[in-house]
Structure 1
Amino acid sequence: MIGAMRSVGELGIHRNVSLQVIYASSVMMIMGTGVIYPVLPVIAQSLEVPRSQIGLILTVFTLPSIFLAPLIGMLADLKGRKVVLSSCLLLYGVAGLGITFVDSFSSVLVLRALQGVGYAGVMPLTIVLIGDTFTRETETSAQGIKVLLDRAALLVIPIAVGALSALAWQMPFVLYALTIPLAFVAMLRLREPTVAKEDRPQNYLKTVGRACLKIRSLTIFSMSSMRFFLEFSFFTYLPIFAIETLGVSVIKGGFLFGVFALGSMMTASVIGPLAARFERVPLVAGAFLVQAGCLSVAALAQNVWWLGAAMLVFGLSNGIISPAQKSLLTQSVPRQLRAGFVSADRISQQVAKSIAPLIAGFIVVVTSIQTMFMVMGVFTLGWVIVVVALNARGALSPSLVDAPEATVLQPS
């Protein structure tokens, strides 16, 4: 954590309002799922939702990004980052707060879908703006700070959600109101990065398309897809498994996500030195291998202590995967293509987020939650083998054309 504090000072976050808006926006987006996971069992019980359908709360949230990501990425590259970010923040906050006032599962799904539209615009831009702001030498550390702050939020949010859900299942959604004032701060104080814009949209789309179809790019996209496929499958049914099988209370179930966040914070705070010492592709592959083992341990867990240990190590791996993948992503293309390229990655990961609860739910209905955990572990192992083989053959080597240096946003 001391290394993270040093990075905050070196990166100038404490004196730059634009950077503070970027990181705060990222934290707000983490609440898109962070508020939901611990309260899923309470919603299912209160609204009498079948276990196999409760994952729809996550699916409808992620679906808009699949269809809107290309449009949002193009608008951000061609028209500017600020207007897209601020308007999507506002929609996200208003829709999330609106769930507080409904009492049917169908209404929850509609508002979650609207939230997903806002999320589709904000989350990719937080990654893009960090890539715009920092050079390759410092960007991995900056992405690590993003992950550190996101996981710090995950450490606190489940505890708050567990306490609020004891009052009423709607109460945790009040937390989304924090996004509304942030939207206005973004509009007034966020500085627009200087980006060379393509005059003809068709040329822009062709260039981004060619960049996306490279084997290295597809592999980088698969890293985020795999990460969220595992998390959405694992985390959707983890609290149900803990409560129904191991007899854990809702509040204690929330602490499991806090343990995950703590582990992620520990490794995210030192990702800069790790990325300087090791190549990022094998570093990510190794972290996924560890997560495959964690899923197996969770499947065999007989008490909450084993489950907590699996969540801690799962989080440690996440703190490596998330910032390293983001750095690989933003540094793979020039700045004027970055929003579109990141949006393409967003499509792949949102597909994974959307189908994960459905696939996991099917496996749970046919077999059991423990079997689903084990299946996900084996699937992850197969992915790691493929990536390691591609890397060994040199298919994942960086492009000879490096992305241009970023222009650091001036303090404001």
Structure 2
Amino acid sequence: MMVCEMRQLVGEESLVPLPRGTLPRTCACFLAAMVVALLLMMAPEDFIGLLATSMLMLTTGPLLHGVCLLMEEWLFRSSTRYRGRLLTGQMLLSCVGGRTLLSLGLAGLLLALEGDHQTEGGRWKLVVLLSVLYIPLKNLEILGPCQVEVSAICEEKKNNVAHGLAWSFYLGYLKLVLPPDLENSIASFRTTHSAGPFEKRGSRRLLILLPLNANIAQNLEDEDTNIQFYDNLPNIELDRAGVRGRVYKHSVYSVLDENGKSHQCAMEYATSLMTLYQMSHESNSGFGERERREQVLLFYRTLQDILEHSLDCRNRYTLILLNDEREDDPHFLSKTILSHLLQQEREEYCLTPHPHQDVGHILTPAQPGGGHQCSDAPMSVDPELMISQDLPRSLKDPVETSDV
């Protein structure tokens, strides 16, 4: 069976940045290869000397800068960060870097292979001058990493604020309450409420709202008048971090559609975004509005990746990214929630019928785009036992018996 074709939600998900790739490294390697090939054609006899001198210029500066960093680590940080050891390999590699030492050794090897050409005085003067000038330029952040490089390093090393908040939100909350306590709470809730909440399976997920501006309202009714508080699910009590019977609860809301029909679902904001919002208003956090928006998108991408790889939380959540640029519509929040609920129902449970089923009860007439639209009719019939009347056949391959 095939999943019924439907329109994908493009809006808010298209705002999430993709992880940074390796295109800058590829361009750098390609440009370096082109220059090296050009030098080999123009001056093959001086190529080794030029290569060795260039590597020496580029590595001696970082080496001297690492020595300056090593002095502070050695004098003031050895007892706190390196367990009282005066000079260790870890301290040296942290300040200088193994790749810098390796490049410097390779440059020295190339100079040794060059032979007599390495004694030219002008070349050594240039090496010394550039190496010494590198230190103040580096400390004045003229040669320091740009903002994109810092962001790429933090993403690669998982050192962003958003990474920590996403993992904390998952390990400290979602992983505890979603499997399987949320299903049990919803089942218990349905037995005590005969009005028909959570009729559709797609609405039995926890809807997690993530506004891009990280400004979380305390009451959803204040954001949209089509959303009203319905009731609370039964409390989930867990022993956590020395607290006996710590209480976790979820709220159920009624969301009205354009026809006035009510749809119940459990939803809440991602509380970790409140930390990002408050950090952006603290002067000593170094966290502005631009950085906050970037961290919210990174939080959404990280949390989505974590939950997609979590077998315990699968099919128990829905992440909804809210674009704060649509504040002109007073019912934008309710429309977004309803569109996600409808998408869940169609994606999970709207399947194409069996060829022997009555197609008229399942699919509506073809649309202009050529596809079919799913209806709310019953999607299955009672299974039937089918017995074949054919005689048993041999499993041997057919043998050619015709004459040539």
Q: TM tier, shorter chain? A: under 0.3
Between structure 1 and structure 2, the one with the greater Rg is: 2
- TM-score, normalising length: structure 2: 0.26
Which structure has the higher relative contact order (CA within 8 Å, separation 6+)? 1
